[in-house]
Amino acid sequence: MSIRTLILQQLANTLANGGVVSDDYSLEANELPWNASGEPLYVKNMRVVYVGDEDEAKVQLYRTLDQGNVYQTETTVQAFLTEDAKNIKANNPTVIDNMLNAKDIVNTANGFNVQLAESGYEQEIDGDTITYTFEYIFTTI
């Protein structure tokens, strides 16, 4: 199972169970955040969380004399959420907190030896919308 799939799995839970699904918010479980008529879907569909595809890089952690090399995989995933800046929902802080904590689903029990798991977000206001761009960074062995 890929890291993106795990994050989607976690975010598909209800708000009370560490996801984003509630009366006000939902998750797009299939589509990537593509642009429709020049506008990203997450801007067009406010309060719907979109998770982007993975960026991956394999980096050599150790070289050994018998070529038993150890590699680490660096994976970055972005997620997006847009809100009406004039009408921020009361659940917004919980949704953001749950989205940050969704990184914890990537763990040994789910098949990943995690060396580093970080998440963060930036926000940008454009007109009357505010867009949160989340970034998950994982280093796995």
Partner 1 sequence: MAEINVTAGTEAILTLGTTEAMAAPGGTGGMVIPLMQDVTVNASPGIVRYSVLNNPSSKAFTTVNENSVSANMLLDEETFFGLDAAGGVNQVADDGLFKTSVDKTEVFFSVAFQGSGAGGHYVKGQGFISGLAPTAQMDAAVWISPMEIVVNGELANATV
E runs forming strands in the chain: 26-27, 35-36, 39-40, 48-62, 70-84, 114-126, 129-140
Direct distance between the N- and C-terminal alpha carbons of the chain, in angstroms, rounded to an integer: 15
Which of the stretches 3-11, 17-25, 35-43, 62-70 binds partner 1 when contact is defined by CB under 8 A?
Answer: 62-70
Q: Does 115 engage in binding with partner 1 (CB under 8 A)?
A: yes
Candidate residues 37, 62, 122, 127; the one interacting with partner 1 per rule CB under 8 A: 62
Q: Nearer to partner 1 by C-beta: 90 or 109?
A: 109
Q: Does 67 engage in binding with partner 1 (CB under 8 A)?
A: yes
Q: Which two tokens stand for residue 3?
A: 């890291």
Q: Nearer to partner 1 by C-beta: 65 or 109?
A: 65
Q: Does 61 engage in binding with partner 1 (CB under 8 A)?
A: yes
Q: Does 58 engage in binding with partner 1 (CB under 8 A)?
A: no
How many angstroms separate the Cα of 83 from the Cα of each of 2, 35, 64?
A: 28, 17, 51
